[in-house]
Amino acid sequence: MNDDLKQAAGISFIEQTTLDRATIRTAYRPDYGAAPAYKSYPDAAVLELPRAAWQLSEARIINLLQRRRSLRTFAETPVSLHQLAFVLWASQGVTALAGNHLLRTAPSAGALYPIETYVSLQRVEGQASGIYHFDTRAFQLRLVVEGDQGSGLAAAFLGQQFLGQASFCLVWTAVSRRSMGKYGDRGVRYLLLDAGHICQNALLAAEAVNLGSCPAAAFYDRELNDLLGIDGYEEIALYGAAFGAKQETTTPLAGR
């Protein structure tokens, strides 16, 4: 690796905000105080927004937006390959060709698509568990770490067990130079924004195929990078999410 990234202001921000198991309780965290949760302009002119006038064509997205909730307990029922494939397609599927760019379901600064997706397959019908890399162009998964990595993944995410209990988890990393090569340090902002778009697409798609999901960004950086076999500079873990079948919230009555 060329050392220039280690000096980059954008990467230094990522490094300075790293979480590390050994120091998580003792590391100095500046107290910036809190900010009010809402901002209001009580004296300004009001424009009331209509709530109930949505057209039918908008109804499907309304449903997904309304129902999406972060769920951290999942049913034992395995998820189907169809459900997994749909979530992956919605997150980063190729939807159009524009010049040399393969445009995707989520927007990307400069159409550079710096985000890579890894799938920790943990309980997907008929599929071998392991960590796979998602090849968006071929729409395929490639096995990069064999065997169920759910518990290692949960450990890397600060011991948040729901990631290990999920049917599958997605982890999004950034190939930093894809964006920084064009935008310099500002490119790091775009890495984070791109990952956010992708994650939200995945969460809404999960809702569409009746899966529960929860995004997660609290993780030990080095542990997660190590699990994925990436160095944390050229490629950096940024974000993840757990997915699984929803637990029944109602109990069917026998004999009725």
Q: What residues line the site for ligand FMN (CB under 6 A)?
A: 69-70, 72, 160, 214-218
Q: Least distance from C-beta 157 to ligand FMN, angstroms?
A: 6
Q: Least distance from C-beta 70 to ligand FMN, angstroms?
A: 3
What is the enclosing helix (H) or strand (E) of 89?
helix 81-92
Q: Least distance from C-beta 216 to ligand FMN, angstroms?
A: 4
Of 73 and 95, CB closest to ligand FMN: 73
Tokens matching residue 45: 């002119």
Q: Least distance from C-beta 143 to ligand FMN, angstroms?
A: 26
Of 140 and 210, CB closest to ligand FMN: 210
- Taking the C-alpha atoms of residue 98 and residue 108, their distance in angstroms, rounded to an integer, is 13
- Taking the C-alpha atoms of residue 205 and residue 211, their distance in angstroms, rounded to an integer, is 9
How many other C-beta atoms can be found within 10 angstroms of the C-beta atom of residue 129?
18
- How far separated are the first and last CA of the chain, in Å rounded? 66
Tokens matching residue 174: 């950034």
Of 79 and 216, CB closest to ligand FMN: 216
- Taking the C-alpha atoms of residue 239 and residue 134, their distance in angstroms, rounded to an integer, is 15
- Taking the C-alpha atoms of residue 243 and residue 214, their distance in angstroms, rounded to an integer, is 7
Tokens matching residue 67: 């129902």
Q: Least distance from C-beta 247 to ligand FMN, angstroms?
A: 15
Of 5 and 214, CB closest to ligand FMN: 214
Query: Can you tell me whether residue 182 is helix, strand or coil?
Result: helix
Positive or negative, the Cα torsion across 172, 224, 190, 71?
positive
- DSSP assignment of 190-214 equals HHHHHHHHHHHHHHHHHHHTTEEEE
- For 141, residues 6+ apart whose C-beta sits below 8 A from its C-beta are 119, 121, 132, 133, 134, 135
Of 211 and 214, CB closest to ligand FMN: 214
Q: Least distance from C-beta 128 to ligand FMN, angstroms?
A: 27
Q: Least distance from C-beta 48 to ligand FMN, angstroms?
A: 25
Of 111 and 218, CB closest to ligand FMN: 218
Of 117 and 160, CB closest to ligand FMN: 160
